Amino acid sequence: MSIKYESQKIAQYFYTFAVVLFLVQVLVGLIAAVQFMRPDIFILNFNIVKTLHINALVVWLLVGMMGATYYVIPEESETELWSLPLAKMQFWATVIAITAVVLGYIWQGLDPQANKLIAGTLALNEGRKYIEAPRWADFLIVVSVLLFLLNCFMTVMKTRKWTGIQGTLLTGLTFLAVMYLPGMVYFKSMVRDQFFWWWVVHLWVEGAWEIIAGALLAFMLMKVTDVKREVVEKWMYIEVGLVMFTGILGTGHHYYWIGTPSYWLWIGGVFSSLEPVPLLVMVWDAFRTTRETRVVDNKPGLYYTVSHAIFNFVGAGLWGVIHTLPQVNKWTHGTQITTAHGHLAFYGAYVLLVLSMIYVTLPAIRGVKSFNHSRALQSFWWMTISMVFIVLVTTGAGMVQVYMERLMGLDYVAVKTTYNLWFWILRAIFGVGFLIGVAIFVIDFFKLGREPLTVAKVATERA
């Protein structure tokens, strides 16, 4: 395995930053989990710790996708990247902007009064989940993303090879960039605020990002098997077409109870119930392709790709559909059931997606033919089993919460501090398991292809 174009190596910058943030994300996630039992355990309050957790998550996934895209575009366009210096500059600009934002959150955590209102916007934290980044940072992020898109489009224009994969990938990325904008407007009405907030959050993860996932899945299937391009691209179009068919109006599943008209109850219910369908097609696609075609020698790449497809379906599709009908959502809305779904969906759909792309492309970037597979598989099982249990535990907590608080009318705090205590303890324990998996992955990322392979290992991996 080796790369065809020197500029594809830029992907590694992005992967490295993503991997470091992944570690940070899970560390602070673990602190947040402990704060359910001991709120004062850390110098920063729960809200700041969790803000760091989810911002690190979203940013490392985006940075990972950018890296992956910089790898895919030259290969599909059959040319070097339009401008390598621009890509490097864009990388460092992103790192600096993100670091500044993180320092701002920590500052606010230490002194809430520091989050001052300057020229109508809050200086350090906008106080809106996932898009907490202040307005000045929004502009930096937009500039960075525009430079990134420009570089990609100009590369494609060099040879004008609009392959299906890169056309779809860039469609998804453009859609992603555009959907960031509705989050940059202030609304006096909390209802309008949440209405547009969901444009960002829902149309990202159930629209733009799924399109990107569909395109990258097609790319990876072509890398780990010798399947024909025509076949994967056709299924890719069908998958992303179904994603848009169900996902756009599926936004309605967030418009049941926030002060929006009641017609969203049935529109959201009907269309979001269909959202698992494209995810199921992706699973079938991954299985069929890997069964029917010869598999190339990159077991971790294959492993992660297929599990991404499976857990995308389970986490987003199944754990999403169970609470998506208004009759159910009325009781489960905003409970630990939502947390359970959020974790398995993000893990399956996007964490595993970026990790798969790393395992599919990193050996080529490092120029190695074989590498030690054992750590990749170990970290996979540590992470996946721990995550499944974290999700089962929070689903349990959610069921108790729905029954006790929502159906019986017990107090929120009473349920949280007494009936659900065991679930919090278990979540923290499985969180440690997850952290172990991440640690193994991080070590593997830095060592992959950089250590001598023993003869025995090469022999077993060839077998």
* Residues between 195 and 234 that touch Fe ion (CB under 5 A): 202, 206
Q: Is 419 in the site for ligand HEC (CB under 6 A)?
A: no
Residue 71 or 209 having the CB closest to ligand HEM: 209
Q: Please say whether the beta carbons of 252 and 269 come within 8 A.
A: yes
Q: What share of the chain is helix, strand, coil (3-state, %, to 5)?
A: 80, 0, 20
- Residue 417 site contact among Fe ion, ligand HEM, another protein, none (CB < 5 to 8 Å, cut-off depends on kind): another protein
**Does residue 47 belong to the site contacting ligand HEC (CB under 6 A)?**
yes
Q: Which of 184, 267, 296, 429 binds another protein (CB under 8 A)?
A: 267
**Residue 125 Cα distances to 100, 132, 304, angstroms:** 12, 5, 35
- Strand ranges (E), 240-293: none
One of 76, 275, 285, 405 touching ligand HEM (CB under 6 A): 275
Q: How far is the CB of 424 from ligand HEC (least distance, A)?
A: 13
- Return the range that interacts with another protein (CB under 8 A); candidates 86-94, 140-148, 258-266, 373-381: 258-266
Question: Which range, of 67-75, 141-149, 301-309, 327-335, touches ligand HEM by CB under 6 A?
Answer: 327-335
Contact flag: residue 334 with ligand HEM (CB under 6 A): yes
CA atoms of 35 and 50, how far apart (whole Å):
10
Does 55 engage in binding with ligand HEM (CB under 6 A)?
A: no
427 binding Fe ion? (CB under 5 A): no
CA distance 333 to 21: 30
Q: Could you tell me how many residues of this chain bind ligand HEM (CB under 6 A)?
A: 40
Q: What's 179's DSSP letter?
A: T
Residue 41: other Cβ atoms inside 10 A: 11
Give whichever of 35 and 69 is closer to another protein, judged by the CB atom: 35
Calculated CA dihedral for residues 126, 130, 131, 132, nearest 10 degrees: 30
All residues at 6 or more sequence positions from 33 whose CB lies less than 8 Å from its CB, including other chains: 424, 427, 428, 431
Distances (CA, A) of 188 to 135, 196, 212: 16, 12, 33
* Binding residue for ligand HEC, selected from 117, 408, 413, 455, defined by CB under 6 A: 413
Q: What is the CA 417 to chain-centroid distance, rounded?
A: 31
- Is residue 420 near ligand HEC by the rule CB under 6 A? no
Q: Can you say whether residue 44 is alpha, beta or left, with left for phi > 0 and alpha for psi between -120 and 50 degrees?
A: beta
Q: How far is the CB of 205 from another protein (least distance, A)?
A: 15
Find the part of the chain contacting ligand HEM (CB under 6 A) among 139-147, 159-167, 314-322, 402-410: 314-322
Nearest of 165, 305, 317, 302 to residue 235 by alpha carbon: 165
Which residue in 448, 312, 425 sits closest to 379, CA to CA? 448
Q: Does 45 bind ligand HEM (CB under 6 A)?
A: no
Give yes or no for residue 264 binding another protein (CB under 8 A). yes
Q: Which is nearer to Fe ion, 53 or 202 (CB)?
A: 202
User: Judging by beta carbons within 10 Å of its beta carbon (0-12, 13-18, 19+), is residue 136 exposed, middle or buried?
Assistant: middle
Q: Is 330 in the site for ligand HEM (CB under 6 A)?
A: no
Query: In the set 88, 241, 422, 432, which binds another protein (CB under 8 A)?
Result: 241
Q: Is residue 398 within the footprint of ligand HEM (CB under 6 A)?
A: no
Q: Report how far residue 40's alpha carbon sits from residue 37's, in angstroms, rounded to the nearest whole number.
A: 9
362 forms part of the interface with ligand HEM (CB under 6 A): no
Cβ-contact 55, 127 below 8 angstroms: no
Q: How big is the CA angle at 304 (ends 241 and 274), to the nearest 5 degrees?
A: 30
If one asks whether residue 1 binds ligand HEM (CB under 6 A), the answer comes out as no
Question: To the nearest whole angstrom, how small is the minimum distance from the Cβ of residue 98 to ligand HEC?
Answer: 23
Q: Cα(462)–Cα(458) distance, rounded to whole angstroms?
A: 6
Number of residues engaging ligand HEC in binding (CB under 6 A): 4
Residue pair 108/28 in contact by the 8 Å Cβ criterion:
no
Residue nearer to ligand HEC on the CB measure, 343 or 416: 416
Q: How far is the CB of 98 from ligand HEM (least distance, A)?
A: 17
Q: Does position 333 bind Fe ion by CB under 5 A? A: no
Q: Report if residue 42 touches ligand HEC, rule: CB under 6 A.
A: no
Alpha helices, H only, 1-83: 11-35, 46-77
Binding site for Fe ion (CB under 5 A): 202, 206
Binding site for ligand HEC (CB under 6 A): 45-47, 413
Binding site for ligand HEM (CB under 6 A): 26, 29-30, 32-33, 50, 53-54, 57, 129, 205-206, 253, 272, 275-276, 316-317, 320-321, 323-324, 329, 333-334, 338-339, 341-343, 345-347, 349, 351, 390, 427-428, 431, 434
